[in-house]
Amino acid sequence: MPSAWRCWCRATGRPAPTWGSSPSSTCISTTCCRTAWAHPSRAGFDVMKHLPLVLARLMFAVSVAATVGLPDHPAWAHAFLDRASPPVGSQVAASPPSLSLRYSEPVEPLFSTVQVTNDKGERVDDGKPVPKDDDRVLEVKLKPLPPGAYHVEWHVTSVDTHKTEGHFTFTVQP
């Protein structure tokens, strides 16, 4: 073939056999790009040379799409304690009638426990927590509390069946 145009096989990087001798010739190689598109001065597109760049761009595009598409609240997270009444680490002037715990997502009261104990390790709550106001709040009634430090330990199961636990203290002042 006297022509300067050849089909360059993308798989091997070598000239591939073609039907004809013009730039529009069709390649007959099964491992080629199937069209005569490159001049001998351009040996074709080297896939392996550019693969890391292509993969990096693809990973970046997927991560941007995932970040933009996700909600800005922890939809798949665990139920963590948002706030408590009496507050975590607080000193209250009088004995509170109940302890209220608000979580970051809905919880299942049947599979959740809250225990309030005094300095001696004796329970001062009345037992099972009950939902209050909405499905993110649990409340447990307390016995009259004399002055001292009280330890709260909680174990909850969120509605998506994830389990979390935690503890904190509060103090009733004399």
* Res 3: pLDDT: 46
Q: How many domains does the chain have?
A: 2
My answer on whether 103 and 23 are in the same domain is no
Q: Which domain holds residue 15?
A: 1-48
Pairwise CA distance, residues 13 & 46, whole Å: 7
What tokens appear for 140 in the block? Answer: 């447990």
Q: Please state the φ and ψ torsions of residue 133, each to the nearest 5 degrees.
A: 65, -65
How big is the CA angle at 46 (ends 43 and 50), to the nearest 5 degrees?
145
Shared-domain flag, residues 86 and 19: no
Q: What is the CATH number of the domain that holds 112?
A: 2.60.40.1220
pLDDT above 70: percentage of residues in the chain: 67
Q: What angle do CA 132, 83, 110 make, to 5 degrees?
A: 40
Q: What is the pTM of this model?
A: 0.56
Co-location of 40 and 88 in the same domain: no
Q: How far apart are CA 124 and CA 109, in angstroms?
A: 19
Q: Is the pLDDT of residue 53 over 90?
A: no
